[in-house]
Homo-oligomer: A and B are copies of this chain.
């Protein structure tokens, strides 16, 4: 092995949770990965230690200037007992694109993937095996230098924590009700929309609460400059099936380059379907609906893989999509992607990586 991480095993392992009652992001495994960055020394001391608290100075930059980033991916255990990761190299790649924008030092991408593998290996007993469950992997970086001046930190922590999670939708792939946000803005050209950073999520909370209060589960974001073009759904990428063309917003700086998004596009292309990464207005989405051409809308992301949209509300206009049932295409994409992730289906793309 090219990378060797010091491993300190816990002396008090926790009890494994009941797989039937797993939720998202509340329970954590016995270990975590930690690596330090110090200016002049680079990233150093990658190590696996017992899961436990982080101790920082109150003046640590992350608490004041939110210099931080995160990633998310999942590990699955196949029926054959293999531990499978889904495209972890893409998370490493995206981390560095985010880091570049946030003035965070880049990380060796091979080391990054090896750190994930090593940690998942140590806590592999924590990967739940019940249908729909998985081990959620959360790599993240925080600026730890205790300094109140506004500039990039000279010290960082890179950490990976693991959380056994249940199915995102307890009742199967239930279509969601989505509110089109035309007041708050998620991203704008020249901003940080493409980067996976805390600030984007903090800024979106208010809009999400507004949508919840109105009875919607998430928002559809419009572009920041004109509030005309559809961008993302909540924290997922958005796809619109119109007249047999599958349309998703292009990666021009405001859209998170989702790994599931990329996988959906490749999958659709491999099926010979017409996929377009192009701008489309919310007006055109509603017009397509009126003309009977809007057959499906869905969101893609790591947590739920595919999430069909059953209702869209834009100002005083409400439309029900595909009779509020999951569409055949959404279902097929979900079945194929999760089949590949779980090792149930062949993986012609070479997406899964064995630990």
**Interface residues in chain A, defined as those with a beta carbon under 8 Å from any beta carbon in chain B:** 24-26, 28, 32, 51-60, 62-68, 70, 101-103, 136, 138, 140, 142, 146-152, 159, 161, 163, 183-185, 188-192, 197-206, 208-209, 224-227, 234-235
Question: Which chain B residues lie closer than 8 Å to A70 at the CB level?
Answer: 63-64
- Candidate in A56, A103, A146, A205 with the most chain B CB atoms within 10 angstroms: A205
Question: Which chain B residues lie closer than 8 Å to A60 at the CB level?
Answer: 54
The smallest beta-carbon distance between A148 and chain B, in angstroms, is: 3
Whether A203 contacts B208 by the Cβ 8 Å rule is no
| Bound Cα distance from A253 to B19, whole angstroms | 46
Whether A138 contacts B64 by the Cβ 8 Å rule is yes
A-B interface, 5 closest residue pairs, ranked by CB to CB distance from nearest: A199-B199, A66-B198, A25-B148, A185-B190, A66-B66
Question: Which chain B residues lie closer than 8 Å to A152 at the CB level?
Answer: 205, 209
Question: Which chain B residues lie closer than 8 Å to A209 at the CB level?
Answer: 103, 152
29 contacts across the A-B interface (CB closer than 8 A): A24-B148, A25-B59, A25-B148, A25-B149, A26-B146, A28-B59, A28-B146, A32-B58, A53-B55, A53-B56, A54-B57, A59-B138, A62-B198, A63-B68, A63-B140, A63-B198, A64-B68, A64-B70, A64-B198, A64-B201, A65-B205, A66-B198, A66-B201, A103-B206, A151-B208, A184-B190, A184-B191, A191-B191, A191-B224
The smallest beta-carbon distance between A272 and chain B, in angstroms, is: 35
Whether A66 contacts B68 by the Cβ 8 Å rule is yes
Whether B188 contacts A199 by the Cβ 8 Å rule is no
Question: Which chain B residues lie closer than 8 Å to A142 at the CB level?
Answer: 63
**Residue from the list B103, B150, B205 in contact with A67, Cβ < 8 A:** B205
Whether A205 contacts B24 by the Cβ 8 Å rule is no
Question: Which chain B residues lie closer than 8 Å to A188 at the CB level?
Answer: 185, 188, 191, 224-225
**Residue from the list B58, B199, B200, B205 in contact with A51, Cβ < 8 A:** B58
Whether A66 contacts B202 by the Cβ 8 Å rule is yes
Whether A64 contacts B191 by the Cβ 8 Å rule is no
Whether B138 contacts A197 by the Cβ 8 Å rule is no
The smallest beta-carbon distance between A28 and chain B, in angstroms, is: 6
| Bound Cα distance from A165 to B142, whole angstroms | 25
Question: Which chain B residues lie closer than 8 Å to A64 at the CB level?
Answer: 68, 70, 138, 140, 198, 201
| Bound Cα distance from A81 to B99, whole angstroms | 48
Starting from the known contacts A25-B148, A68-B202, A188-B224, 10 additional A-B residue pairs (CB-CB under 8 Å) come to A25-B147, A25-B149, A64-B140, A66-B66, A101-B206, A138-B148, A150-B208, A189-B224, A199-B199, A225-B225
**Residue from the list B28, B55, B102, B138 in contact with A202, Cβ < 8 A:** B102
Question: Which chain B residues lie closer than 8 Å to A149 at the CB level?
Answer: 24-25
The smallest beta-carbon distance between A51 and chain B, in angstroms, is: 7
| Bound Cα distance from A62 to B201, whole angstroms | 11
| Bound Cα distance from A204 to B197, whole angstroms | 13
Question: Which chain B residues lie closer than 8 Å to A52 at the CB level?
Answer: 58
Whether B67 contacts A63 by the Cβ 8 Å rule is no
- Candidate in A142, A150, A183 with the most chain B CB atoms within 10 angstroms: A150
Whether A57 contacts B53 by the Cβ 8 Å rule is yes
Whether A235 contacts B150 by the Cβ 8 Å rule is yes
Question: Which chain B residues lie closer than 8 Å to A201 at the CB level?
Answer: 64-66, 150
The smallest beta-carbon distance between A297 and chain B, in angstroms, is: 20
Whether B54 contacts A58 by the Cβ 8 Å rule is yes
